[in-house]
Amino acid sequence: MSIRDYFPTWIHTGKAYGYPDCCISNFLDRGLALEQGYPLPGKFFEFRGEATGYVMCPECAKKTRKEVVDTVNSRRDPKFPRFPSHAI
Ligand SMILES: [Zn+2]
């Protein structure tokens, strides 16, 4: 089992939750790097002081919190609660 086996699920889930394609791509790269034993630094989106499962790519990590939240919610599948109250 390779980390690549998780990619279709990660891509599908990331898109459903509204995460930008750049961040999803970055997340996959981070997974590959981790599998090869050299974890890449990442900036976790925090909610109420806790890291969520959303890891921002370097470009999105430079944006304001409001910009990130607005972007995610504009792309988010409406069947899910608004970000970041239910960030995964
Ligand atoms: Zn991004």
Q: How confident is the model at residue 88 (pLDDT cuts 50, 70, 90)?
A: low
| 23 CA distance to ligand 1 middle (Å) | 4
27: CA distance to ligand 1 center in Å?
Answer: 9
Predicted confidence at residue 86, as pLDDT, reads 61
What percentage of the chain reaches a pLDDT higher than 90?
A: 78
pLDDT digits (tens, 9 = 90+) for 43-79: 999 998 888 889 999 999 999 999 999 999 999 999 9
Give the Å distance between the CA of 63 and the centre of ligand 1.
9
Q: What is the pLDDT of residue 35?
A: 92
Alpha-carbon dihedral 86, 84, 14, 81, rounded to 10 degrees: 50
Is residue 87 predicted with pLDDT exceeding 80? no
